[in-house]
Amino acid sequence: MAAAALLRGAAPGRGGRAWSWRLRAAPKRRLGHNYCSQRGESAGSAAWACFLLDERALVRVRGPDSARFLLGLLTNELPLPGPAAGEASTSARSGYAHFLNVQGRTLYDVILYGLPEGSHEQPTFLLECDSSVLDALQRHLVLHKIRRRVTVEPCPELRVWAVLPCAPKEVGRAVLLQEKAECTTILTRDPRTARMGWRLLSQDEGSALVLGGRLGDLQDYHRHRYQQGVPEGVHDLPPGVALPLESNLAFMNGVSFTKGCYIGQELTARTHHMGVIRKRLFPVQLSGPLPVGSIAPGTSVLTKSGQAAGKYRAGLGDVGLALLRSEKIKGPLHIRTSESGLVALTASVPDWWPTSTK
């Protein structure tokens, strides 16, 4: 396997036609690039910002039955999509999916990496998950393994990095990883949306591997993620609470409606075929005096007249995610804090969401 992996840009992803949808009256939020400026450093001095995601961990699933085993647990299809045009066929493949409980609610959100054929003696997958549920995910996998010829084990030797371009023009450029990158380094597009850049798995310092890369502030990564409306981890997707389609799983290429059975499929398929999703997870901007310690998850979001519009889910500072009724997001919204103050809330529709075809 070559020591250098090719980093290529991609046009913003679009969902399938069945999920083309947009509230045209809602404001659109575009990609920000201020995460590349630090302490007066100009964005032009670095092409890529590299964020070490310590709160993400990896589980390795390997064995002759690994693909069939995962297929019965994940919302998405296997095998994973092939490499894009211009990429080597030996590149690692990635996909996004959720593990669901029997009631059809999300347990764990994962980015799935299929390692290149020939690099291992048997089919091998890496599952990127929230590090706080690493043990729980392993127990979940072992519980359903039964007699399948698979091995489930942690993969602590690799660290997870997010790589984001510092300027829009960089998305379309070809950049090489440093030649010192070992064959264990995995670089692939973030499968959820092109707005989230790339995922890098490596034993080494990510910013040292990427040409023109610099170490980014983790809070900038999360602010960018919230502004793009991308949930990640147990705070954004509470286990046993979040519903996958309300969490925009289809928009993030994370579910297949043509695959065979998997745990939690019934409710998800029925909701899809009914074609009615009244609530969605929207990116929100807060304005006004914020309470100390941020806004509590589950705080009610109200309309101007005091009607319930949804609930605040999670966030960082003045940006976050809220589960809102779609017909309520056009008007002024607010949150009443414990200090009896009002915080204005503005919901937006990310520009990478699919356009309405109805």
Of the pLDDT bands very low, low, confident and very high (cuts 50, 70, 90), residue 7 is: very low
Mean of pLDDT over the chain = 82
Split into its structural domains, the chain has a count of 2
Report if residue 262 sits inside a domain: no
d(CA 114, CA 108): 18
Q: Over 50: is that where the pLDDT of 66 sits?
A: yes
The label of the residue with tokens 């092409």 reads: 47
Q: Are residues 84 and 212 in the same domain?
A: yes
Bridging pattern class, strands 342-347 and 279-287: antiparallel
Name the amino acid, one letter, at 136: A
State how far the alpha carbon of 279 is from the alpha carbons of 245, 247, 284, 312, 322, in Å.
9, 9, 14, 12, 10
Among 4-13, 320-329, 347-356, which range has the highest average pLDDT? 320-329
Q: Over 60: is that where the pLDDT of 83 sits?
A: no
Q: What is the CATH number of the domain that holds 337?
A: 2.40.30.110
Q: Dig out the tokens for 5 from the structure.
A: 């992996």
Q: Dig out the tokens for 210 from the structure.
A: 């990427």
**Given this model, what pLDDT does residue 246 score?**
96
Which residue range forms the structural domain that includes residue 320? 278-350
pLDDT, tens digit (0-9, with 9 covering 90-100), for 144-159: 998 899 999 999 999 9
User: What's the mean pLDDT in 233-259?
Assistant: 95
User: What's the mean pLDDT in 26-33?
Assistant: 44
pLDDT, tens digit (0-9, with 9 covering 90-100), for 159-206: 999 999 887 655 544 444 544 444 558 888 899 999 999 999 998 887
Report if residue 336 sits inside a domain: yes
**Given this model, what pLDDT does residue 292 score?**
75
Q: Last residue of a domain, which of 209, 227, 245?
A: 227
Report if residue 119 sits inside a domain: yes
Q: Are residues 223 and 124 in the same domain?
A: yes
Minimum mean pLDDT among 2-11, 216-225, 297-306: which range?
Answer: 2-11
User: Which of the pair, 184 or 314, is modelled with greater confidence?
Assistant: 314
Bridging pattern class, strands 48-52 and 124-130: unpaired
Q: What is the CATH number of the domain that holds 97?
A: 3.30.70.1400
Q: Are 269 and 336 in contact (CB under 8 A)?
A: no
Report if residue 264 sits inside a domain: no
DSSP 327-353: GGTTS-EEEE-TTS-EEEEEE-EETTS
Report if residue 26 sits inside a domain: yes
Q: Are residues 61 and 203 in the same domain?
A: yes
**Given this model, what pLDDT does residue 174 score?**
42
Report if residue 159 sits inside a domain: yes
Report if residue 270 sits inside a domain: no
Q: Are residues 291 and 222 in the same domain?
A: no
Q: What is the pTM of this model?
A: 0.84
Q: Over 60: is that where the pLDDT of 222 sits?
A: yes
Report if residue 260 sits inside a domain: no
Q: Are residues 166 and 302 in the same domain?
A: no
Q: Over 80: is that where the pLDDT of 339 sits?
A: no
Q: Are residues 215 and 293 in the same domain?
A: no
Report which of 269, 55, 65 is spatially closest to residue 147, judged by C-alpha positions.
65
Q: Are residues 95 and 173 in the same domain?
A: yes
Q: Are residues 33 and 109 in the same domain?
A: yes
Q: Over 60: is that where the pLDDT of 316 sits?
A: yes
**Given this model, what pLDDT does residue 206 score?**
75
Q: Are 322 and 316 in contact (CB under 8 A)?
A: no
Q: Are residues 79 and 212 in the same domain?
A: yes
Q: Last residue of a domain, which of 227, 257, 287?
A: 227
**Given this model, what pLDDT does residue 2 score?**
31
Q: Last residue of a domain, which of 194, 227, 260?
A: 227
Q: Are residues 122 and 213 in the same domain?
A: yes
